[in-house]
Amino acid sequence: RGGNPSDAKAAAEAFARNSAVFGRMLEVLGMDLWTAAAHFSDPVGDRQAGALVPLVKEARKLEAEALRIVKADLAGAPPREQCHGWVAGKTREELAAPDPVVVLSLLENA
């Protein structure tokens, strides 16, 4: 059985920090989450580009941290065929939950 609660919490926190960085990127671009796709072809000004560079670097670092934690945690997870009972016992909402804490807690209890 894989799944260390402290690893799940650390990964969830890294994903949350990464999400916050993407929120700051949208602010720099003058976009919000719900309309961002409509602006993808808009040009980016020099000031915006300069402000985005450190945010992109921060996001990449946080993403790598979260993935490292999840990979290490999953290395001790049971084989896929042993997870069938885990999936069968969960509600659709639990399986589709976008909250990383919920997703990682489900994985840790597999």
Q: For residue 30, report the phi and psi dihedrals to the nearest 5 degrees.
A: 70, 30
Query: Distance between alpha carbon 37 and the CA centroid of its chain, in Å?
Result: 19
Q: What rounded mean pLDDT belongs to the chain?
A: 75
**Residue 79 or residue 41, greater confidence:** 41
Is the model's pLDDT at 64 over the cut of 50? yes
Residue 105 or residue 71, greater confidence: 71
pLDDT of residue 91 exceeding 60, the answer is yes
Residue 93 has what pLDDT?
Answer: 65
The answer on pLDDT for 16 being more than 80 is: yes
pLDDT at position 95: 61
Burial class of residue 47 in the structure, from the number of CB atoms within 10 Å of its CB (0-12 exposed, 13-18 middle, 19+ buried): exposed
pLDDT at 1: 41
> Residue 67: pLDDT above 80?
yes
* Residue 46: per-residue pLDDT: 92
Average pLDDT over residues 90-108: 59
